[in-house]
Structure 1
Amino acid sequence: MNVKTKLSNCMRPLLLGALLITTGAQAQVQPLNRVVAIVDNDVVMQSQLDTRLREVQQTIAQRGAALPPEHVLSQQVLERLIIENIQLQIGERSGIRITDEELNQAMETIAQRNGMNLDQFRSALAADGLSYMDARDQIKREMIISRVRQRRVAERIQVTDQEIQNFLASDLGKMQLSAEFRLANILIPVPEGASPSAIQAAERQAQEVYQQLQQGADFAQLAIAQSASETALEGGEMGWRKAGQLPPPFDRMISALGVGQVTEPLRTPGGFIMLKLLDKRGGDSQVRDEVNVRHILIKPSEIRSEADAQRLAERLYQRIKAGEDFAELAKNFSEDPGSALNGGVLSWIDPNALVPEFRAVMEQTPAGELSKPFKSPFGWHVLEVLGRRATDTSEQFREQQAANLLRNRKYEEELQAWLRQIRDEAYVETKL
């Protein structure tokens, strides 16, 4: 296996596979390059289209999906390149710059992932006829696009007081701001069209399981042994649910349960179900412990692997420790649309509203100190605790929660709307 083939899988998440997927035969043939699209003050070249098209075809093939006709796929890929080109020009006009230090760090992380130092990596690229500067330029393009989206889209998001009040008054708002319950279940199945005797047998089995639970039997073990639920092998664990997400009468019953209690078996279309309340958070408690915290979020993506995200978070941590301003770094790097423009500040927030990984690190970090980089389901974080307090639940707190929910909901919608807008406003002439 040559170096080119070996490295392509490692670099694809960051470089979008644009530089390292050329086969040996393709590397020897150099087709005549030409302009395939004029985009405002720039162009898209045939070589760019061919490279990206090969990457997309390879990705689709790896997923086992059928490839559309090449002319259809080419149009789709060209449109993507046009959108990217427009964003790069916006970044240029906006003065967005990627420093040499940032680019060097990105190239170093790629080299490390391939088990090389930077000089070895450069030599490996050259040996396969691939330009180190082309790789560096592609990374720079993707970093600029990421920052352009963050700034332009976040600035477009507006949540009005009326929207907040409407959301709080809606059934959806009441459900999302209500208590959450961590649940597990055991399902004793009843086959479709079961005879009365089969139904009675299932009910007897469910009652026997319930009695064992009441006598102290381990719920998870019984779930693994007897439940027909799809979560049986996880001990019946269902994760967090709100009462409004449960079918009647569980929606009413669960609110009356204490942590550790189990509902009696109830007949459902699929059989007899018992729910256990493992934990509870949120709801109508009058006093909350709140934390004033700010953070920087770095997300893995098509252009940034998990390891790259971790290394960037660690680099930002070191820069803050060295005296750089947290707020400025958050504005420039954080990918949390709800807090980046505010310097990463989440303000006073209920720890129970946060994912467990974030909450655990926050609780262990003293006020006025910085956490080391850590991972949550959203990506890699660095956080700083600014203060702690106990406060009564207030309308202002509920409004803050509603505003955050609405802002995050709007982000993806605004991103797509903004992309359509910049595409419509740009001068584009295709030459395929």
Structure 2
Amino acid sequence: MFQRRAWRVFVFGILTAGALGLYASYAAEGQAPGETPAPVPAPEAAKEDSPVIAKIGDSEVITKAELDRSIAAIRQNQMIQARARGMAAPTIPEPTQAQKMQLLDDMISTRVMYLLAKQSGIVISDEDVNADIEQNKARLPQGMTFEDYLTKQGLNLDTVKENVRRRILLQRYTDQQTKDVTVPDQELADEYKRASERGVFDAVDFQHILIRVEGTDDAAWAKGKEAIDAAYKRIKDGEDFAKVAAEVSQDAETKDKGGVYTGVPHNPRRPELDKVLFSTKVGEVAEPFKSASGWHLVKVNARGAIAQEKASENLKMIMLRAKKQEAMKKIVDEARSKMNIQITMPAEGAAPATPESDAGKLLDKAI
């Protein structure tokens, strides 16, 4: 089932100016290597063939195809998250009409923000755009070229450059408008205390062995289970975990380092691993377990808390982002109230969106 917030874009979201960012489909953490984004309608279709579902002022429109592309990207990210929770073949239902209206409303807000940004006088050069594209090419899955990406998404280079230009403009406008937003020391201290009491800053040192399995083939998963069970038996029989990891682990990050990870905090995006890491006694090897990546084996070496300075710094960044989001929402809402905005998409069953509350509540959801 969709969570309601999953269908909110926000002005800081990846769907800038109502158009997909360059690598929106790869933005979600936990995507499997080599996984490609869901097919989406080509931007040309949005311009020429798709009905207009919203008009913003005299210069901006949103088409049904643009909304469909946004939905496709969100569903793709939800698919990735479901697989990261261990669902081999998750079924992602279509959004309700109310959810589509919520998404359209956020797309309108982003277009309003874009109009404000254009009026600000900020200039984005071709060099800025090209540098951003080059930097993000490295985020494509292994084996996928930039040309492959454009083909799969039905994009052309000019459209990508325009989307990137808009995204950079929005970010710089946000930076300009929120440069004076701060997090008071006492507010940070209070939030740090609350988060500490909830165990948010707990961390663990551990060793890891991965037998990678991809897809839904039962035989492949059974073979992977045999391999991880064999590794588990070797360790329980007295072999060194690091030696076994070097020989059998498919975790490229650590197999040659004894499988060692240090200072790993809670991560709700990987619930299977998180549960094992924070429930296994120090010094023990947990029984093999499964995730969307394959079969895992871990030994917990130490457990403690993230250093206060680092934890406080990360917490401050989260709170500052939430406060900036609130500030931009006020600016956009005020501008919207003065603009001629027409929505022609049917709203049957749509419920009014509940405004996001203060930064403290946003922080609770973020962590």
TM-score by length of 1: 0.39
Higher strand share: 1
TM-score for both structures, normalised by structure 2: 0.44
Larger Rg: 1
Bigger relative CO (Cα 8 Å, ≥ 6 apart): 2
